[in-house]
Amino acid sequence: MKLLEERIRKDGLVKEGNVLKVDSFLNHQMDVALFSEMGQEFKRLFKDHKINKILTIEASGIGIACVVAQSFNVPVVFAKKAQSINLDGEVYTSKVESFTKKRVYDILVSKKYLGPEDHVLIIDDFLANGCAVLGLLDLINDAGATVEGVGIAIEKGFQQGGRLIRERGIHLESLAIVESMDASTGEITFREQ
């Protein structure tokens, strides 16, 4: 999606440790008009799927997921992050290792909001090593729901997440795929799609 690539080139900051900062339009301040364009694009890319729920993970996926959900006219469920979980049988849980914070945490979704009747589109802001998406896929699997696809705003194509998800035969669409980025020059290149 050219609009997103241009915005990343203009406002994205490349940090040490393969981190791309996009706080001015996506991760802190949010450009809702841009999100709306992204929502329309996901709607077009997943038009052949019957989707009745969007699933994301707190916190940074929630804003995008809400706008995407509007274009599909379906509800959003976000997986909550927890330090420790009281396993009372009311939730589905999985573990995720944070790429940016380098620690493992539990994620959970109430059984009330995810079940066998659901056809789910996962939405997240970034795809790096794939831990967040794989954790969400675990929850969908445990719930007996169906994954219809994964929609990502920015995939870092030089990390393994995209490959791991595509290898599973899951329909993955990333609106911008960063092929390389250089913290010393700030240069960012994108994969042609």
Binding site for ligand 5GP (CB under 6 A): 19-22, 27, 60-61, 99-100, 124-132, 156, 161
CB of 137 to ligand 5GP, least distance (A): 12
Q: Name every residue whose Cβ is closer than 8 Å to that of residue 77 and which is 6 or more positions away in sequence.
A: 53, 54, 55, 56, 109, 113, 114
CB of 18 to ligand 5GP, least distance (A): 6
Of residues 78 and 92, the one with the C-beta less far from ligand 5GP: 78
Q: How many residues does the chain have?
A: 193
Of residues 145 and 152, the one with the C-beta less far from ligand 5GP: 152
Q: Which residue in 43, 11, 62 sits closest to 149, CA to CA? A: 43
CB of 178 to ligand 5GP, least distance (A): 8
Q: Which residue in 42, 103, 107, 109 sits closest to 70, CA to CA? A: 42
Of residues 43 and 81, the one with the C-beta less far from ligand 5GP: 81
CB of 20 to ligand 5GP, least distance (A): 4
